[in-house]
Chain A
């Protein structure tokens, strides 16, 4: 089980930030290792491919992403599921973004919870939690850059 929670302050109002969150191409740029992403059903379902390297091992998963909860402009929850056929790794992720106004713009709370089933999940147990933390931190940094530009 992977659980990562991060708070980050972003120099943009919740409304502006909210607009970015739905701008799929710009959002894709913020998610490290997220390559192709396309909208299947506007504001509802997307497809994306997540690629991450854990040392010599490359995880490359086609994800089906569904937006399970929306409360504009304060928050939304994404559920993603997919399988890397080569590694035999089933990935399931849920990411909740909470957006609240703050004196410098808005404060974003990122709550990610996920699981990698199969050999990678078992053998990589301790390593993957730390990797997920790095990915979420990088996501926060890219989000801030994307908004504040």
Chain B
């Protein structure tokens, strides 16, 4: 039920509710929290990519003054020391084998960090190095060493309980989807293109690394303050590991210093909890940036795609075979390979489809969720090949895309949500914003790319709104604030529906013992799913107010209306405090409204229908220094179909941040492994975008047709903008030079090698994969 008349708060770029505390330095993050008697923890990590643990000697460390706990796997007999949302394949501490450089072996908690480091110096570990698999090629080679032997325990996601590993191989999950005549569709194709594109290992680099503080109470209950994006998933994990009812575990989440998917699902929380139990006091386990490089990364990939076109340019068949390198532990990668591959056909109408993807273990940092969740890896291939097809068919790349776009309301896949946006409007807006129809200046070229992504489903979001006696309101939701501005958006929605000033709405920080269930703050879903729950909860309160007023005034509720913190009917106007006073017979009491959004399971291929389709389109104009291979993105246009911006300025900030993070893996970022070891686990060797990398001209455009399932017609934004960047830049490079690169990032050296290869063998295929040059 949306308030009648023009919107007062929704749709306006109001100030962030957490702005003041952040600009004054008062904002508190996990790393800022301290508790009396709190110990500090450090980890000893494996220097080898794969080795057998022969001996772990901790006696001297335990005896070191100021040490409260020293843990090895042998000390964890009192709990179930394995975790992982899809497969519980990750040990708290290495048992008999270490599976990647950085795999935790010993954990120490001491009076302070210095003492913890001194204690770790006293630990002696003997390893017997074993042959490791560092790449997809090595991991998938017949007879390759197995990163995991034996059956892992299933995780806690019902849709992944039927994980389909390939026994005796490093494949821990497979996903398949087909429709129409599958590969048979290529028989109708006048043009068939096939190619393989790879995506590098990249790092989230939330500026605040992972961290957790755990404390057990006298009754055996556990509280964990954690820098996490889904407190309820962490709670479920800890409940299983420590054999506790969920009600005895409290996960409290302060502000996050960034997340980007890297802080989804349990990371350091289980180890902090184990240390706190043994140390008998609160323990803070705070990762460094270098630790974060050895905690999680984006799943890298090798994606083989076949596109079949009719002579008139219509897509008739798409085949995709994607291998995702998920590192040493599965984390949520089994879902990533599903989500990423499922929309391999992007926003296009394709009758015949056959998709397959593998989650492949390697002896590297585990791959988990990262903004885009598998879609960037696939779209880099598909949208590059759409441009190649346009060239072969003699068609304009934008026009070829327009021809194949699904229409508003059309079915994407049987059982899933129909397309909920006007895709051709987004395409024409991006063409207009990048001035597609104007010839680029000399030495420049333009490229476009489009993407469509499903949000997680099924999923559940609940909200509680408490209207207090003075007419102010508290909103209780478990949405985590990690910079995306969710708390402000929830306040705006509640203020709009309750018709009270924004300043009188408080959004309570996420705490599983107080705020109701929400599955996760990721997948661009919070505004839509949690926002609707808040809208419903607020409407529930308004319904109660109308009932109270109706009874008091003796008129039907329908004859009454909400207006500026009061219910009005005819000449009478009853303010909320007055209404509560009437209802409770005293000044006090509160009205509690509840909202639950839980669409549940459907026939959709991934088990639930996406609540909304995130659609984003990008246009890049580049120049190139041919002698050095350095690409400059001179202009970038990003279009997102958001339905409605609840807070336009924050949508812009999200979109600009997404594009710049996309520019990172497009031009600059790569985790470099050599000899099984990560060479650049720090910001000197790993280059993230700086202010100087921002395109001179940068347009963020929003398509707002209020056609979303979210409150006031909103949909999700925040991941989409990142996805089209690499194919758009890759397409612009191809149009400028004829060079088609299939590896990211497009570093100056890589582009230089391709230009040189073409100069030396102009007749050969436009590009050569070549070996893996230095970054």
Contact = CB atoms under 8 A, between A and B. Distances in A.
Interface of A: 1, 85, 88, 90, 92, 115, 117-118, 121-122, 125
Contacts of A117: 47-48, 101, 675, 677
15 contacts: A1-B674, A1-B675, A85-B121, A90-B48, A115-B677, A117-B48, A117-B101, A117-B677, A118-B47, A121-B679, A122-B678, A122-B679, A122-B680, A125-B674, A125-B679
Contacts of B681: 122
Nearest to A83: B47
Contacts of A118: 47
Given A117-B101, A122-B680, A122-B681, A88 B47 contact: yes
Contacts of B101: 117
Interface SS, B side:
loop
A115 B48 CA distance: 11
Interface string B680-712: 110001000000000000000000000000000
Nearest to B49: A117
Name the 6 nearest CB pairs between A and B, nearest first: A117-B47, A1-B675, A115-B675, A90-B47, A122-B679, A118-B47
Interface in B114-130: 121, 129
Contacts of A1: 674-675
A92 B51 CA distance: 14
Contacts of B678: 122
Given A1-B675, A121-B679, A122-B680, 17 more contacts: A85-B121, A88-B47, A90-B48, A92-B129, A115-B677, A117-B47, A117-B48, A117-B101, A117-B675, A117-B677, A121-B675, A121-B677, A122-B679, A122-B681, A122-B685, A125-B674, A125-B679
Contacts, number: 26
Interface SS, A side:
mixed
A89 to B, nearest CB: 8
Interface string B703-746: 00000000000000000000000000000000000000000000
A88 B47 CA distance: 9
A118 B101 CA distance: 9
A90 to B, nearest CB: 5
B45 to A, nearest CB: 10
A125 to B, nearest CB: 5
A37 B424 CA distance: 76
Contacts of B674: 1, 125
A125 B677 CA distance: 11
B58 to A, nearest CB: 15
B574 to A, nearest CB: 69
Contacts of B680: 122
A15 to B, nearest CB: 36
Contacts of B48: 90, 117
A118 B675 CA distance: 12
Nearest to A2: B675
Contacts of B675: 1, 115, 117, 121
B677 A122 contact: yes
A4 to B, nearest CB: 15
A35 B48 CA distance: 27
A122 B677 CA distance: 8
B489 to A, nearest CB: 42
Contacts of B47: 88, 90, 117-118
Contacts of A85: 121
Contacts of A121: 675, 677, 679
Contacts of B677: 115, 117, 121-122
Nearest to B121: A85
A61 to B, nearest CB: 13
Contacts of A115: 675, 677
A142 B696 CA distance: 59
A90 B48 CA distance: 9
